[in-house]
Amino acid sequence: MSVQALAGVIFYVSITRLQNTVGESIAFGKNAKQSTTYGEHDASHALDRTFSRIGSATQSGNLPWWEVDLRGYFTISSITLTAAIPYALYNKMGNAFVEVMNKDVSLCSDVQVVWCGNVSSTVTAGEEFTFTCNATFPVRYVRVTRLSTTNVQLIIGHVDVQGIGATKQYRSHYTPTANWRVYIPSLTTSAVTAGACGILCHKSHSCIDFSYRTTASTEANCLLTDKVVPENSYGLNHWTMYTLDSCL
């Protein structure tokens, strides 16, 4: 199968996701975003304990939200939100609620959503709130939204997501981008065709994107990743990056 032919190919396979390491948040290092960003308090800070005193912060707005793309499909056992530490910041997580979804709600029209629970109206410094989610579908997205009748900030000290990889049978369409490749491969291997590289991505834990170049099959020409940032620079003209369509 040629690289060009792969653009329109639909794969139907069963993916067996591997069990997550006990104690390690499956959200760590994944792609986080939020409705707005206050100062330098990026959405990704809520996933890194280095920033847990303050974490992520939105600007004041109506129904501010924070979301993480788990870059794979999981059965969620628990989600823990930790409030910020400094005075006057920790209560800016009050009345927030947690949901899990199978698709990107900002892009897809047929999203499955399950409500997991909500934070109390009064929060103390560094307080933790743990929720269980009874989703009957494999989860890819976790979203936190703060309810309010006025403009408010949403500040989250830390988000921990526990779960195991889900076995999911689904169809996938990859969109190709020429002259790009994945930035931090989780697996570097070889494949005879781009289609074969795509099948390896299906079978590998949390693989969402992959890159392939036409070369000798014994060379490292197939890169799998669960990271987000691609690489585009001089010398990559033989690579093509394939990105999973999250709405399928």
Summarize pLDDT for 24-43 with one digit per residue, the tens: 899 998 889 999 999 999 99
Whether residue 140 sits in one domain with residue 40: yes
- Is 12 within a domain? no
Show the domain range for 234: 173-244
Q: Domain end: 168, 192, 226, which one?
A: 168
198 φ/ψ angles, rounded to the nearest 5 degrees: -65, -35
What's the gap between Cα 242 and its chain centre? 17
pTM of the model: 0.75
Give the tokens for residue 182: 């994945």
8-22, 23-37, 143-157, 187-201: least confidently modelled range: 8-22
Pairing, β 128-131 against β 239-244 = unpaired
Pairing, β 65-82 against β 139-146 = antiparallel
Whether residue 213 sits in one domain with residue 161: no
Q: In terms of DSSP H, where are the helices of 172-218? A: 194-203
90-99, 118-127, 200-209: least confidently modelled range: 200-209
Considering only CA atoms, give the Rg of the chain: 19
User: Euclidean distance between the first and final Cα of the chain, in Å?
Assistant: 22
Q: Is 6 helix (H, G, I), strand (E, B) or coil?
A: helix
Q: Domain end: 168, 192, 212, which one?
A: 168
- Is 25 within a domain? no
Under a CB-based contact definition with an 8 Å cutoff, are residues 34 and 56 in contact?
A: yes
- Is 46 within a domain? yes
- Is 3 within a domain? no
Whether residue 45 sits in one domain with residue 132: yes
- Determine what percent of the chain is predicted with pLDDT higher than 70: 81
- Is 205 within a domain? yes
Confidence class for position 231, pLDDT limits 50, 70, 90:
low
Q: How far is CA 129 from CA 24, 27, 41, 85, 148, in A?
A: 17, 16, 21, 14, 19
Q: Give the mean model confidence (pLDDT) for residues 203-209.
A: 73
195 φ/ψ angles, rounded to the nearest 5 degrees: -60, -40
Alpha carbons within 13 angstroms on the beta-carbon side of residue 120 total 9
- Nearest Cα neighbor of 56 from 71, 36, 76 is 36
What's the gap between Cα 22 and its chain centre? 19
Whether residue 142 sits in one domain with residue 68: yes
Instruction: Provide the number of structural domains found in the chain.
Output: 2
Whether residue 95 sits in one domain with residue 82: yes
- Is 1 within a domain? no
Q: Is 156 exposed, middle or buried (0-12, 13-18, 19+ CB in 10 A)?
A: buried
- Is 11 within a domain? no
- Is 18 within a domain? no
d(C-alpha 148, C-alpha 109), whole Å: 25
Under a CB-based contact definition with an 8 Å cutoff, are residues 200 and 212 in contact?
A: no
Whether residue 151 sits in one domain with residue 42: yes
Residue carrying structure tokens 């890169």: 223
Residue 2 is predicted with a pLDDT of: 38
